[in-house]
């Protein structure tokens, strides 16, 4: 299905004359019996909370949803492709993703927001502030609905409770009285950005980073990247692998690249011959030496060594089939050999 056709199906729901809009906050917390440092994917519990909205907010959410979809239809240049961890993230691409039921977040779209009459309502923003994760808008017409998501954070909420040891208070300047007045109301800030939507058992992704955070793919990346490192350790062919682990904690791009390597399986075939090929390729394309021991082990000392090794392990250097030119890119979808 083309982008325009898919989006117009969604527009027909959002622009329906009597469409209803429901707002839900989504919280995330560690499951009972699980520790934050545990290296498991399915360790969080997501919960939806119902909240009534005013006419002004109804109009605001309807407008930003319409604007987003209209901008896609009007462009006529968008490509639609399946989500990939690493891809050519151009501005004219939309990604689709069929939610894995093994992820904790699947409970949100497949159960909680389907049977939303059992969702609890909040009585105060304080109730959800420390666990706030995202919000979703549910656009409902007879027998159909669309879910639109946006990542949120605790910093978006302001309450009248003290936020520091010494207390904290919000205020505004009343121009009628020329006085600075205390604000005792609870508030939350919404912007006009949207991260993704869910319709017909599939996500349509506007912002990959927001989407990955919302559904919990970040945790999947961490688990996959750690598995790659463990397998490389077992080969006993790399000295200084702790430097990769250190860099992994500081670099999201490295995390995603290692996760992508895990899906392709390049790390499974690491041997002395492959390391020799790595040395040759790096010298050929960048004029740099990949340091090794006398018996062929790879030596990783610096951040640059980590980057070079991961690039090589991910087959960063590629050759085009038609013009035989060489390219440098971390992305690339595996294809069947036509020969």
Q: What is the pLDDT of residue 102?
A: 61
> CA–CA separation, 329 vs 267, rounded Å?
18
- Asked if residue 46 lies in contact with residue 31, where contact means CB atoms within 8 angstroms, the answer is no
> CA–CA separation, 286 vs 243, rounded Å?
22
Q: What is the pLDDT of residue 76?
A: 67
Show the low-confidence residues of the chain (pLDDT under 50). 162-166
Could you report the per-residue pLDDT of 115-137, keeping only the tens digit for each? 888 899 998 888 998 999 999 99
> CA–CA separation, 194 vs 147, rounded Å?
11
Q: Domain locations in the chain?
A: 3-215, 220-328
Give Cβ neighbours of residue 137 (< 8 Å, ≥ 6 apart).
Answer: 21, 22, 23, 24, 61, 65, 147, 148
> CA–CA separation, 5 vs 2, rounded Å?
5
Q: What is the pLDDT of residue 166?
A: 47
* Phi, psi (degrees; rounded to nearest 5) at 158: -120, 125
Q: What is the pLDDT of residue 163?
A: 46
Among 252, 244, 251, 247, which residue's Cα sits nearest to residue 212? 252
Give Cβ neighbours of residue 106 (< 8 Å, ≥ 6 apart).
Answer: 99, 100
Q: What is the pLDDT of residue 161?
A: 57
> CA–CA separation, 71 vs 69, rounded Å?
5
Q: What is the pLDDT of residue 105?
A: 92
> CA–CA separation, 119 vs 46, rounded Å?
12
> CA–CA separation, 23 vs 48, rounded Å?
10
Helix boundaries (H) for 88-167: 106-107
Terminal C-alpha separation, the chain: 29
Q: What is the pLDDT of residue 240?
A: 96
- pTM for this one? 0.83
Burial 1-19 (b: 16+ CB within 10 A, else e): eebbebbeebbebbbeeeb
């Amino acid at each position: 299905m083309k982008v325009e056709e898919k989006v117009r199906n969604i527009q027909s729901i959002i622009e329906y004359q009597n469409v209803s809009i429901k707002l839900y906050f989504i919280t995330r917390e560690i499951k009972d019996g699980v520790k934050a440092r545990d290296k498991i994917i399915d360790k969080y519990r997501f919960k939806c909370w119902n909240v009534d909205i005013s006419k002004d907010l109804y109009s605001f959410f309807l407008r930003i949803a319409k604007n987003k979809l209209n901008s896609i239809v009007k462009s006529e240049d968008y490509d639609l492709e399946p989500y990939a961890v690493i891809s050519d993230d151009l501005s004219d691409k939309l990604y689709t993703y069929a939610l894995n039921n093994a992820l904790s977040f699947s409970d949100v779209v497949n159960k909680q927001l389907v049977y939303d009459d059992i969702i609890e309502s909040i009585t105060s923003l304080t109730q959800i502030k420390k666990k706030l994760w995202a919000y979703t808008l549910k656009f409902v017409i007879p027998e159909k609905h669309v879910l639109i998501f946006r990542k949120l954070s605790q910093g978006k909420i302001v309450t009248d409770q003290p936020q520091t040891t010494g207390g904290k208070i919000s205020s505004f300047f009343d121009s009628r009285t020329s006085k600075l007045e205390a604000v005792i109301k609870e508030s939350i800030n919404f912007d006009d950005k949207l991260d993704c939507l869910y319709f017909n058992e599939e996500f349509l992704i506007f912002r990959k980073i927001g989407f990955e955070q919302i559904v919990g793919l970040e945790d999947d990346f961490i688990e996959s990247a750690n598995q790659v490192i463990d397998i490389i350790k077992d080969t006993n062919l790399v000295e200084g692998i702790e430097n990769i682990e250190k860099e992994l904690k500081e670099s999201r791009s490295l995390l995603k690249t290692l996760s992508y390597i895990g899906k392709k399986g390049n790390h499974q075939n690491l041997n002395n011959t492959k390391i020799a090929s790595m040395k040759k390729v790096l010298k050929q394309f960048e004029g740099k030496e990949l340091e090794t021991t006398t018996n062929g082990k790879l030596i990783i000392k610096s951040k640059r060594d980590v980057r070079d090794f991961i690039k090589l392990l991910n087959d960063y250097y590629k050759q085009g089939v038609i013009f035989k030119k060489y390219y440098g890119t971390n992305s690339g979808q595996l294809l069947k050999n036509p020969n």
